[in-house]
Amino acid sequence: MALLPFFQWCYQTPIGEAIRASTWLFPVIEACHLIGLGLTAGAVLLVDLRLLGVGLSKQPVAQLAAGAQPWLLGSLTLMFSSGIPLFLSEAIKCYYSFPFWVKMTSLCLVLVFTFTVRRRVTRTGSSSGRPLPGRATALISLGLWFGVAWGGRWIGFS
């Protein structure tokens, strides 16, 4: 697959150009991205800690997950709407960055996992029975998000 031409096209988009031409835009968008990261982490941790049997362990999983859902979707929207412009501004650097590909792989996996397996587990999970699928779900979710955050931070170091 020849992805490089696509990355070059991304790099040359007006949004990418505008961000590169500005002193302030990249840092400010990046700070928004960091706020989005914190909010996403909060919405994810609330439920994953519960699945691990800690945190708000007295509350029904389904109820916590339903409460966290709008904040998860909202913070993911903030992440995408800040992350995509950041990517456009340095698409070619990203293409050659190993951490970028770790991040994108983890991100695809965690999004699919969150909206399929994790969604089903949190909807059917009760406060008592069968903790094992819940624990495994939480560990996979946290592990993949860890990969996303690691990759994201190290794009900047490379």
Partner 1 sequence: MSPLAFFEWLADLPWSVDLHESQYAYSIIESIHVWALCLFFGMTAMFDLRLLGWTMRSVPVSEVIRRLLPWTIAGFIIMIASGTLLFFAIPLRSYQNIFFRSKMLLLLLAGLNVWIFHSRVFPRVAAWDVDGVPPRAARIAGAFSLVLWIGIVFSGRMIAYNWFDCDRQPQPAIINFLTSCLAAESGQ
What is the contact surface with partner 1 in residues (CB under 8 A)? 23, 27, 30-31, 34-35, 37-46, 49, 55-59, 63-64, 67-68, 70-71, 146, 149-150, 153-154, 157
The residue among 87 and 145 lying less far from partner 1, judged by its C-beta, is 145
CA-CA distances (angstroms) from residue 64 to 26, 29, 48, 49, 92? 35, 30, 10, 11, 41
CB of 56 to partner 1, least distance (A): 5
- Nearer to partner 1 by C-beta: 13 or 140? 140
Residue 2 C-beta: closest distance to partner 1, Å: 32
CB of 4 to partner 1, least distance (A): 27
Nearer to partner 1, 5 or 58 (CB): 58
Please check whether residue 92 is in contact with residue 8, taking contact to mean a CB–CB distance below 8 angstroms. Answer: yes
Closest residue by Cα to residue 57 from 126, 148, 153: 126
Q: What are phi and psi of 28, to 5 degrees?
A: -70, -45
